[in-house]
Amino acid sequence: MTPRTSHESASHWDASHWNASHWIVGPGALGRLVGLRLAATTAVTLVGRRPLPARQTLITPEGGTLTRGLATARLDALPEAAPAVVHLTTKAYAAETAYASLAPRLGPDTLLVLWQNGFACQPRLSARHAGPVLCATTTEGAYVQGDDRVTHAGHGHTFLGALDGRHGEPAAALASRHAAAGLPAEAVDDIRVRLWHKLAVNAAINPLVARFRIRNGQLRDRPFRPMVEAVIVEIAAIMAAERIPSPPEGWADLVWRVIAGTARNRASMLQDVLAGRPTEREAILGPLLTAARRHGIATPRLAELDAALTDARV
Ligand code: PAF
């Protein structure tokens, strides 16, 4: 049997370890939701590129408010002591730059949790970080209302796991801590498959709604419906070639179910385009196009959407 490293030793993920601080790096809506909830039992520091108010309020899905004072720090002026856990909650395209700023402050045992969409930074940061790395995928919904206020729009569920299936113990310990803080979570050994499933759904919805500036539900109507169907065919071929098991109901039913459930939403990529921000195009379409090239699969629709989103006129 392979000997355990220090961060895998049985006694390591006990209460004393967890009492050391958790840094939330990239305190947007999701980061602040996680931070404000965990702060009930855990020392939390919000780390951003610019200073944030220490007093933060969460509006709960039930309409209540939760206000807490949290420690805050800037990415270019970090506390000296290494954190126990870093929750990297930046957008996908900002994750690796943020990690580079943090790296000098991280200990060999610091647990890194990656909350990004897509499948771009996760394998690279899992290889780069010396300590354990978990990936998270969540259906919690939140949006920012201001520098000191975030709304938890709807309850969801979070899955946590390492890409290579290791680190079950810290994943289970972190999942219990999240669940106790009111964010249901579970440790899984197939996080890679779950990340690809989320990527597939995102790739079928986000580029089209961003390109045509429509709400998700409009994808069900002409002329968009056949476009979604054509994109799903390309995605399904790539997933099969990558040996990602299809969801039990099949790719098309999964995508149409998500579209129905989010019909009134302006999807995240559309919001980014409308606000003139960078999109997560590279993290979502990039891995699909790279895999398609590797397997010699033609993907004219995905390539066209990728080109259109790269174009500043979208
Ligand atoms: O990115 C988003 O907005 C969401 O992942 C989804 C599923 C496309 C719904 O809007």
How are beta strands 55-59 and 149-154 bridged, if at all? parallel
Digit-coded pLDDT (tens) for 101-112: 999 999 889 999
Q: How many Å lie between the centroid of ligand 1 and the Cα of residue 268?
A: 6
Its CATH class, for the domain covering 6-188, is alpha beta
CA distance 61 to 152: 6
Cβ atoms of 133 and 127 closer than 8 Å: no
pLDDT band at 12 (very low <50, low <70, confident <90, very high): low
Ligand 1 contact via 135 beta carbon (within 6 Å): no
pLDDT band at 314 (very low <50, low <70, confident <90, very high): very low
pLDDT band at 14 (very low <50, low <70, confident <90, very high): low
CA distance 208 to 60: 31
Q: Which two tokens stand for residue 229?
A: 């169907």
Cβ neighbours around 55 below 10 Å, total: 12
Its CATH class, for the domain covering 193-310, is mainly alpha
> Does 198 qualify as catalytic in the annotation?
yes
Query: What ligand 1 atom has the least distance to the C-alpha of 267?
Result: 3
Cβ atoms of 151 and 172 closer than 8 Å: no
CA distance 305 to 302: 5
Beta bridge partners of 68: 56
Digit-coded pLDDT (tens) for 133-186: 999 999 999 999 999 999 999 999 999 999 999 999 999 999 999 999 999 999
Digit-coded pLDDT (tens) for 198-256: 999 999 999 999 999 999 999 999 999 999 999 999 999 999 999 999 999 999 999 99
pLDDT at 9: 46
Catalytic residue among 22, 32, 87, 198: 198
CA distance 52 to 218: 37
Query: What ligand 1 atom has the least distance to the C-alpha of 258?
Result: 7
Ligand 1 contact via 206 beta carbon (within 6 Å): yes
Residue type, 218: Q
Residue bearing the CA closest to ligand 1, atom 7 = 202
DSSP state of 105: G
Domain segments of the chain: what residues? Answer: 6-188, 193-310
pTM of the model as a whole: 0.93
